[in-house]
Amino acid sequence: MPSNFNEHRTAFLLCLGLFGTLIVLAGVFFLERIVNLDMAFQSFLILKSGSLEIQSGRFGAAATQFWPWAAQALGLPLKGVLLSYSFGHVLWPALLAWFSWRIGQWRWSLAIGMVATLMTTHTFYWLSEMPAGLVFLCAVFAWMHSKGSLTAFRWWQWPLWLAALVTAFYFHPLVLYAAAFLCLFFGLERNQPRAWAWMHLIVLGVFGGLTVLKYKVLKLDWYDAAAIKRQEAFGKLWPNWLDIESNRKFLEWSVADYWLLWGVLAGSTVYYVWKKNWAKALLVPGWAFGFVLLVNVPFYEAVGEQFYMENLYLPLSVFAAIPLIFDVLRERNEPLTRNASMVLCILFVISLLRIGFAHQPWTKKVQWEQTFLQETATRAQRKILLSDKQVPMETLKMSWGSSYEFLMLSALEHPDSARCIIIHDDPGRFDSLLTRPKLFFGAFKNYPFEELPKAYFNFRDTSGYVRY
């Protein structure tokens, strides 16, 4: 424990309670989190290859993929692998919060906890690299702040620092905007030595250089290229950036789920106005408002599902959490006051309750798939191909992950019970393959049975596929 443990015990206990509760939720709802779209697909790939499966060059995902990889390397059954993946997405921010605590940056520990929960609702169940990248970025800044300036780094720490910034950048493209906000926010702090401002200015320069390198020099991944293409909407819609469907949707979601985040942002803005800190009074709400437009304008027409859009909005939690913890609730370097502790406790409890209640549509999705497996278990031909018009898409949300989800759910009981079921918007594309008895249909690629690990998916059904 750090030497100031007793002095800052309240902050430690708040983080312990927060991440302890998240671990429980991750265990209770592991099927909702992992047998779900991207996580089901990535779990499938990890089990198939026995290695990490980084998508779209976002190599920071190794931080969370390590856990299921280690579980399968140790020979754990499928349930153990899926549980490990679910726990890993909570253990990652918890470990980063602990790291920040160990180096004396207990406020960053609280910030990591708040960034992980303040806006998180459906993204607790639909997982991506974004939340993992945001908390890692916070831990990097905690490390820098423990030094006070870049000149305090030892020679061998310089490459680690640069590698950490590159890793944070490559978790998710929108982490860039959280990093820029942190550089500006802390660079504007009063009564700090010049080396402090230079440290944040250099970090901002590094992220700027990485942006130029990725988007102007290196060849873009197809996913990032599509995102760049969407930016054309800014020119197309000007000056009508506000009167778009995505803004109206975001307002609805904010009233229903994200009101706490906006309350924190409003409170911080009022605090800065009261303190006559006009630079931050403009930066905090202005950056948040600008970021919402940055996300919404490219999606002005084809607004995605809330869980997908929420993932893009998550940097807003950084814009709200940092001012609250480092300014509003701060009294120099003193421990948390009773009132500050109560405010954080209330915020954490409300966030945890919101996350817990958000499981309902995801549980409904898993239950529908489990019921379908049971209802078709006695069929003579149990390899099934369905159209998305035959299923309740309002429950399933997206069909592309269906084959991996059904595979995981069916194989949980025993590897021999693994089944092949796929829902697709264009089932006709599989017509020429229906008679292939030893082929697993996937949304992006089909796999011969012999390529899949029998320890997890030992297919016993040798019949062909049938239309449902």
Dist. CA 263–CA 237, nearest whole Å: 30
pLDDT in tens, the chain (468 residues): 454 555 578 889 999 999 999 999 999 999 999 999 999 999 999 999 999 999 888 899 999 999 999 999 999 999 999 999 999 999 999 999 999 999 999 999 999 999 999 999 999 999 999 999 999 999 999 999 999 999 999 999 999 999 999 999 999 999 999 999 999 999 998 888 999 999 999 999 999 999 999 888 888 877 777 778 888 889 999 999 999 999 999 999 999 999 999 999 999 999 999 999 999 999 999 999 999 999 999 999 767 899 999 999 999 999 999 999 999 998 655 678 888 999 999 999 999 999 999 999 999 999 999 999 999 999 988 999 999 999 999 999 999 999 999 999 999 999 999 999 999 999 999 999 998 989 999 999 999 999 999 999 999 988 899 999
pLDDT of residue 242: 93
pLDDT of residue 3: 46
Structure tokens at 292: 């919402």
Q: What string of H, E and C letters represents the secondary structure of 235-264?
A: HHHCCCCCCCHHHHHHHHHHHHCCHHHHHH
pLDDT of residue 4: 52
